[in-house]
Each structure stands twice: as structure tokens, then as C-alpha cells.
């Protein structure tokens, strides 16, 4: 289950925010917000993707570095809502 979620999240981040980049460079612990990959609009797009794809609600205070900074964080956030 979490592997499938992880794969979908990674695929989205690669296609939406890292076009043309080597997929192997994006690790589960690559910093997305603090590393500058996700700005405010990208973060909102990611939240919309999470909500629509996994049928969960992300609260306003969860759209931050603590919950969305790495693929591992994102998968954990989704898992916590299932």
C-alpha cells in the first residue's frame, strides 16, 4: 500500500516539478520545501494532487515543511489519514 502511494507521489513530483531531471536524484528524503523544489504554488498543487488522488483532506496547518518536506513525510501524512 505505502509503496504504491510512494510511487504515485514520486511520479507526480517528478512530472510536475522536476521535468527532465534524473528520477534517481529524487530520493525519499530529498528536501522538497527547504530544498527549494516546492514553492507556495507548487505546494498548493501538491496538496490538490494528494487530496484528489488519495481522497483525503489536508488541513491548512499541515501544508508546511513539517508534513510535506520529503516523500517520506508526504506518505506518512497520507497514511495518517487513511
Per CB under 8 A, residues contacting other proteins are 16-17, 19, 33, 39-45, 48, 51-52, 59-61, 63-66
Cβ at position 20, least distance to other proteins in Å: 11
Q: Nearer to other proteins by C-beta: 8 or 62?
A: 62
- Residues 82 and 50: beta-carbon distance below 8 Å: no
Cβ at position 55, least distance to other proteins in Å: 12
Q: Nearer to other proteins by C-beta: 3 or 61?
A: 61
Amino acid at each position: 500500500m505505502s509503496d504504491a502511494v510512494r510511487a504515485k507521489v514520486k511520479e507526480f513530483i517528478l512530472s510536475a516539478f522536476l521535468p527532465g531531471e534524473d528520477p534517481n536524484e529524487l530520493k525519499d528524503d530529498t528536501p522538497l520545501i527547504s530544498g527549494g523544489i516546492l514553492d507556495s504554488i507548487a505546494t498548493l498543487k501538491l496538496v490538490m494532487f494528494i487530496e484528489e488522488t488519495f481522497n483525503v483532506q489536508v488541513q491548512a496547518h499541515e501544508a508546511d515543511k513539517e508534513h510535506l518536506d520529503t516523500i517520506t513525510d508526504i506518505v506518512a501524512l497520507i497514511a495518517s489519514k487513511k
